[in-house]
Amino acid sequence: MTGLIHQAVPCTASVAEEGGRHWTDDEVRALLCVWADRRIRERLKCTLRNKSIFQEMARQMQRTFGVVRNWKQCRTKYKNLKYDYKTAKSAHAVGVGGPGKYMKFFEEVEAILLDRGLENGTTEMQKRLYDGEMGAGRLQTPASESEVVIEIDGDDNSDDYDMDGDMEAKWRGTDAQLTLADPSSSEQFHVVMVSDTGRNWSDQEVRALIQVWSEERVCRQLESSTRKRDIFVQISNRLMQQGIERDWKQCHTKYKNLKYLYRSLQRGKGDEADPRRLMRFYDEVDAIMNRTTNGSPYHTGAADKHADSGRLSMPEGREENDRDQTNAARAASGPTEDRTCSSDSVSSTNLNVTTNNGEPRLHPVQELHSDQQHRLTSSSEPQVKREELHSANRRTKRKAADQDLSLQTPVKRLDSGSDAVEARCKEEPDHIPIMKINSVCSIASSSPSPETEDRRVLQNSSMAATPELNIGQKLNEGKTKQIFELADQPGLVLVQSKDQITAGNAVRKDQMEGKAAIANRTTSCVFKLLQEAGIKTAFVKQHSDTAFVAARCEMIPIEWVCRRVATGSFLKRNPGVKEGYRFSPLKMEMFFKDDANNDPQWSEEQLLETKFSLAGLAIGQCEVDVMNRSTVAIFEILERSWATQNCTLVDMKIEFGVNMETQEIVLADVIDNDSWRLWPAGDRSQQKDKQVYRDLKEVTPEAMQIVKRNFEWVSERVKLLLERQASGRVVVLMGSISDLAHCEKIRKACTSYGIPCILRVTSAHKGPDETLRIKAEYEGDGVATVFVAVAGRSNGLGPVMSGNTAYPVINCPPLTPDWGAQDVWSSLRMPSGLGCSTILSPEAAAQFAAQIFGLTDHLVWCKLRASMLNTWVSLKLADQKLQACSI
């Protein structure tokens, strides 16, 4: 594991907590002067990932003008200025008014964007700003006072930031208030969305977001967790199912904007302005926020506020009085049913509450769900009539009762267009923290540590199906997986996949919903195939959709790459070799795992000179040879298997580890669609592996769907590799029951290759007609058959069978010490026209039959190939032990 070293930019270290401070005119002037620099403008035009540019702008602002702002604040203000300019320009174009009415520094921003009159760049802009050339008649109020800007980092690669906690602290710490030039007008109040695409949210998109947000389970997750990236990934996926393409960062940004705008209006309850005029969807957000702030809606004692669409927000001083009136109204209406619900169930209790004017209204949560469609599909929000509320109340009762019954089942469908979201939430933890070097001593904290949170999520998700596993601490974390110890099984670990796809040592990384399950399914099938063949791996069993149990290993930091076809990085390192060149034998390469140096290629000599010692095993020449041979065998097994699906395995990388209990070198890590190149029909244009993601010029939702479909295609096809493509059997014919022990050895060996073996007794000398009848019995059903003739003394069984069938016949006579030298000739010297072979060893006879079946059955071939490897390894280790004893 590689530790991450974070270096703070000198000019931004002191302003890390100043995210809520408004920009002064002098600060904006400094930003504009730096922005006007031709070099800065050209760099901003030619790149989308511009973190480094804004870091440079922040440094120039501090050096030249003494303005201390970090790069994120500079980028946010830069985007706001562009947004305000476009808004003012559009309003001016339709004749609403001059641009000066809407935006300060309009002419300066226009000059920069249109590259007009800035030949001398910064110097020219300084003259415009500081020599009195600003146009008159503009508002002198700072432009950002009527904005709420929630900035989500779109360029930084860091995933480990407190998405809600940090921003919440900034909001509270600044005691932000939203002020309006005219309280009766809401036109000047707007929320500037800073997103990757810059697209403003339409009313339809906001309605869909609120509808997902309002669901009980989503609310519980948002309130119970401080790390919400996985939740917003799920929300984004839910919106995607409705045809709304918004990534998780945009959903999080809009969610925070809605919350902050609502809270700012709540702070100004005493104002005369109607909050509904200042904020669209105020009532929907009000219902959700009151549910979460007043407690669970399923407790009968929870306060009910602001639920009906016609009710205005009240001053803070009246809250307690209203709560008393509400409780009194409940008591007057008679006793209510009090039902205690578990965290996974919903109470069917219906609370009838009255508003200030005496009209009955629903519980805010029940109202939001029962009348959601009406409220979210209308642009205006009229006063709800008494009879409509009564009708909605009755509908809510029926819906709550039905919901209470449905929640008794383990999986609930949350909407008509999605799969079982609850089950998916349990099976796909998406939290992906950056690795940190932990302190030796633990510090008590009210909030759980990242490792504790990971274990909690893991226990509540993939562990739900098998609670007997006791998940311990997190041992390791990579780009696409996490490894947890099993506290009650010291020799085993749990490997948990993540919904993250990366390329170029995580230079590019994205979330891909469902990838954890797809990768785990692929890995499990590949390891099952290799284990059934006889390859030693760390895999133990598949535990859940997104995790598997494995033997605990200390990983050898080497990637072994095996190539059949020249492509990819090999062509860059070996210019002159044409793509598609076929390596026979396979081309072997090794790379040292070092992200900081981009995984450099190593030679065998470098590996030996490093003198690795892992889990008590020194890595020397013998161990390197074992890994080299194993890599070739593993590649050939998978290559042969994929050939049954008309797919070419182009190349692949694997990693080995040392089993910490047995000190054996075993295949470890994972093998999934990230590990190889796979070309259907040998055609690169049809590639189904991660190279499709690497080749993307721009990551879009549509492109990610193509990548996901490729991964799903591979995960479905890899299951077919475990299925036998052709059936066959071995029929052993013995001349006497006394040969049974010899024949049992043949059957045992056949079973080890997965080949059915049938034993029969017949004599070609004493009952030739019965022998031919048995032969015809196995010829007539169309199953591929190999006959093995076991007859001592004078072997007539083998020649008779060979002369009367087109199926292969193997002689395997049970020779005795006294007459064996003479009896064997009846099996060796055959008349002309007979093609049966003679093999004396019963195990060798079974192996020869397996080689015949291996021509058409890849599973048998894989077992033969693994057997060859294991025989070679055993000889190598025996030689190593002998040399150690001799020395």
Report the distance separating Cα 541 and Cα 532, nearest Å.
Answer: 13
Task: Give a three-class secondary structure readout of 515-569.
Answer: HHHHHHHHHHHHHHHHHHHCCCECEEEECCCCEEEEECEEECCEEEEEEEECCCH
Strand partners, 554: 658
Contact 305/290 with Cβ under 8 angstroms?
yes
DSSP 796: -
Average pLDDT in the 133-144 region?
A: 37
Report the distance separating Cα 826 and Cα 645, nearest Å.
Answer: 45
Amino acid at the residue 729: R
Residues in CB range of 820: below 8 A, 6 or more apart? none
Among the ranges 3-7, 386-390, 799-803, which has the highest mean pLDDT value?
799-803
Q: What is the pTM of this model?
A: 0.53
Among 536, 600, 525, residue whose Cα is nearest residue 874: 536
Residues in CB range of 759: below 8 A, 6 or more apart? 732, 734, 740, 743, 744, 747
Query: How many beta carbons lie within 10 A of that of residue 110, not counting itself?
Result: 16
Q: How confident is the model at residue 458 (pLDDT cuts 50, 70, 90)?
A: low
Q: Look at residue 402 in the predicted model and tell me its pLDDT.
A: 45
Are β-strands 837-838 and 558-565 bridged in parallel, bridged antiparallel, or unpaired? Answer: unpaired
Q: Look at residue 615 in the predicted model and tell me its pLDDT.
A: 92
Report the distance separating Cα 857 and Cα 641, nearest Å.
Answer: 9
Contact 846/746 with Cβ under 8 angstroms?
yes
Q: Name the least confident of 89-93, 385-389, 612-616.
A: 385-389
DSSP 311: P
Amino acid at the residue 789: A
Distances 640 to 95, 530, 650, 721 between C-alpha atoms, Å: 72, 12, 12, 10
Report the distance separating Cα 493 and Cα 540, nearest Å.
Answer: 10
In 753-857, alpha helices (H):
768-779, 797-804, 820-823, 825-828, 842-854
Q: Look at residue 816 in the predicted model and tell me its pLDDT.
A: 84
Q: Look at residue 527 in the predicted model and tell me its pLDDT.
A: 97
Report the distance separating Cα 93 and Cα 13, nearest Å.
Answer: 43
User: Sheet harboring 492-497: ordered strands across?
Assistant: 471-477, 481-486, 492-497, 547-551, 539-542
Q: Look at residue 678 in the predicted model and tell me its pLDDT.
A: 97
pLDDT digits (tens, 9 = 90+) for 520-554: 999 999 999 999 999 999 999 999 999 999 999 99
Contact 74/57 with Cβ under 8 angstroms?
yes
Angle at 511 between CA 508 and CA 514, to 5 degrees: 135
Q: Look at residue 130 in the predicted model and tell me its pLDDT.
A: 65
Q: Name the least confident of 254-263, 355-364, 798-807.
A: 355-364
Are β-strands 837-838 and 665-668 bridged in parallel, bridged antiparallel, or unpaired? Answer: unpaired
Tokens linked to 210: 């609120």
Residues in CB range of 557: below 8 A, 6 or more apart? 592, 593, 594, 612
Q: Look at residue 261 in the predicted model and tell me its pLDDT.
A: 82
Q: Look at residue 227 in the predicted model and tell me its pLDDT.
A: 64
Distances 685 to 548, 581, 633, 644, 700 between C-alpha atoms, Å: 33, 16, 27, 20, 20
Name the E strands within 51-199.
Answer: 147-151, 190-194
Q: Look at residue 314 in the predicted model and tell me its pLDDT.
A: 37
Q: Look at residue 280 in the predicted model and tell me its pLDDT.
A: 79
Task: Write the burial class of residue 381 (CB in 10 Å: 0-12 exposed, 13-18 middle, 19+ buried).
Answer: middle
Q: Look at residue 714 in the predicted model and tell me its pLDDT.
A: 96
Q: How confident is the model at residue 269 (pLDDT cuts 50, 70, 90)?
A: low
- Our measurement of the distance from residue 101's CA atom to the centroid of its chain's CA atoms, rounded to an integer in Å, reads 48
pLDDT digits (tens, 9 = 90+) for 737-748: 999 999 999 999
Angle at 221 between CA 498 and CA 278, to 5 degrees: 120
For residue 728, pLDDT over 60 is answered with: yes
**Whole-number mean pLDDT of the chain?**
74
Measured on CA atoms in the order 45, 48, 53, 57, is the torsion positive or negative? positive
pLDDT digits (tens, 9 = 90+) for 22-79: 788 888 989 999 988 888 888 887 766 788 899 889 888 888 888 888 888 898 898 8
Contact 876/630 with Cβ under 8 angstroms?
no
Among 266, 380, 376, residue whose Cα is nearest residue 313: 266
Q: Look at residue 20 in the predicted model and tell me its pLDDT.
A: 53
Q: What percent of the chain has pLDDT over 70?
A: 65
Report the distance separating Cα 365 and Cα 370, nearest Å.
Answer: 9
Q: Which helix (H) or strand (E) holds 477?
A: strand 471-477
Among 623, 662, 709, 670, residue whose Cα is nearest residue 497: 670
Sequence length of the chain is: 887
Residues in CB range of 647: below 8 A, 6 or more apart? 678, 679, 680, 681, 688, 717
Burial pattern 594-616, b for ≥16 Cβ within 10 A else e, equals eeeeebeebeeeebeeeebebbe
Strand partners, 588: 562
DSSP per-residue string spanning 259-294? HHHHHHHHHTTTSSS-HHHHSTTHHHHHHHHHHHHS
Report the distance separating Cα 518 and Cα 670, nearest Å.
Answer: 12
Residue tagged 């705008």 (tokens): 261
Report the distance separating Cα 808 and Cα 812, nearest Å.
Answer: 13
Q: How confident is the model at residue 692 (pLDDT cuts 50, 70, 90)?
A: very high
DSSP 739: G
Report the distance separating Cα 195 and Cα 6, nearest Å.
Answer: 25
Contact 95/102 with Cβ under 8 angstroms?
no
pLDDT digits (tens, 9 = 90+) for 224-267: 766 678 888 889 888 887 878 888 888 888 888 888 888 877 76
Among the ranges 168-177, 232-241, 342-351, 552-561, which has the highest mean pLDDT value?
552-561
Average pLDDT in the 570-596 region?
A: 94
Residues in CB range of 209: below 8 A, 6 or more apart? 201, 235, 239, 246, 251, 254, 255
Contact 764/771 with Cβ under 8 angstroms?
yes
For residue 755, pLDDT over 80 is answered with: yes
Burial pattern 275-310, b for ≥16 Cβ within 10 A else e, equals bbebbbbbbbbbbbbbbeebebbbeeebbbbbbbbe
Query: How many beta carbons lie within 10 A of that of residue 255, not counting itself?
Result: 23
Q: How confident is the model at residue 386 (pLDDT cuts 50, 70, 90)?
A: very low
User: Sheet harboring 728-734: ordered strands across?
Assistant: 757-761, 728-734, 784-790, 809-811, 837-838
Q: Look at residue 202 in the predicted model and tell me its pLDDT.
A: 83
Q: Name the least confident of 171-185, 687-701, 827-841.
A: 171-185
Contact 129/113 with Cβ under 8 angstroms?
no
Strand partners, 602: 590
Report the distance separating Cα 857 and Cα 128, nearest Å.
Answer: 81
